[in-house]
Structure 1
Amino acid sequence: MLFVVVILLNLVTQGLSRCLFNRIGIGTVSTGREIQGKREWKVTVTNNCECPQAPIYLNCRGFQTVEKVEPPILEKRGDQCLLINGRPLGPFASISFSYAMESPFVLTASTSKCLLKL
């Protein structure tokens, strides 16, 4: 019985280590549009993990867009931005949003958790 528990804990630990916030991919491309004289950028956030992740927070210190991003998608909370109201982003799923600034803003994942089901 102890052997089974050790194996199970090992599998859970391996699953969690593969599904940290460093498995959140973020890509930014120019849309070619201008909003209030600023270039528009499209961001795609992808969960590159086998399990859903939530809540996903992005580092967004200094993020100031002239184009409104809907709060259900991205909500600025001080220097952090909460993605999709803290709801899970499924395995290998993506979500996109656009913003307008002079140059692309480097968004990085700061925290997320794997919602591992046993």
Structure 2
Amino acid sequence: METMLFVLVILLNIVTQVLSGCASNKIGIGTVSTGREIQGKREWKVTVTNNCDCPQAPIVLNCKGFQPVKKVEPPILEKRGDQCLLINGRPLGPFASISFSYGMDSPFVLTASMSECVLKF
């Protein structure tokens, strides 16, 4: 029994070390102009990608000063002060992406401030 427990602890340690590299630095964010307008402002399309081999949640973005002319739908992006919660805190799957658009004069630089690998047992 002790041997089994020891092996389990070692395996969990290995899994934790492997997955610890999956954090907010593995969230890619790209912004491109769509060529369209929203209420007289340029439309920008943002794609957020999980560049990790595990689901990540919650994904929180720095969005201090982000004030688009039309609010992004809350199920996709919910502004909470200087932070924005992506997809209601639900996991974004491994190597999956989600996109949304907004209208502003120029692109807003969004960065990931927090995310964690979600393990399902």
Residues in 2 aligned to 1:92 and 1:99: alpha-carbon distance in whole angstroms: 23
Percent identical residues = 84
Which of the numbers 52, 55, 71 marks the counterpart of 1:52?
55
Query: What is the aligned length?
Result: 118
Normalised to the residue count of structure 2, the TM-score between the two structures is 0.90
Structure 1 outlier segments of 4+, above 3 Å:
none
SS of the aligned residue for 1:18 comes to coil
Residues in 2 aligned to 1:37 and 1:53: alpha-carbon distance in whole angstroms: 35
The superposition leaves residues 37-86 of structure 1 with CA deviations (integer Å, 9 ceiling, x where unpaired) of: 21100000000111111111000000000022100000000000000001
SS of the aligned residue for 1:88 comes to coil
The one-letter code matched in structure 2 to 1:87 is R
Residue aligning to 2:116: 113
Residues in 1 aligned to 2:119 and 2:90: alpha-carbon distance in whole angstroms: 14
What is the CA distance between 1:12 and its match in structure 2?
2.0
Structure 1 runs not aligned, ≥5 long: none
Structure 2 runs not aligned, ≥5 long: none
Q: After TM superposition, list the pairs within 5 Å mapping 1:67-78 onto structure 2.
A: 67-78=70-81
Q: Which has the larger radius of gyration?
A: 2
SS of the aligned residue for 1:82 comes to strand
The one-letter code matched in structure 2 to 1:97 is F
Residue aligning to 2:84: 81
**Does 2:24 match 1:21?**
yes
Residue aligning to 1:102: 105
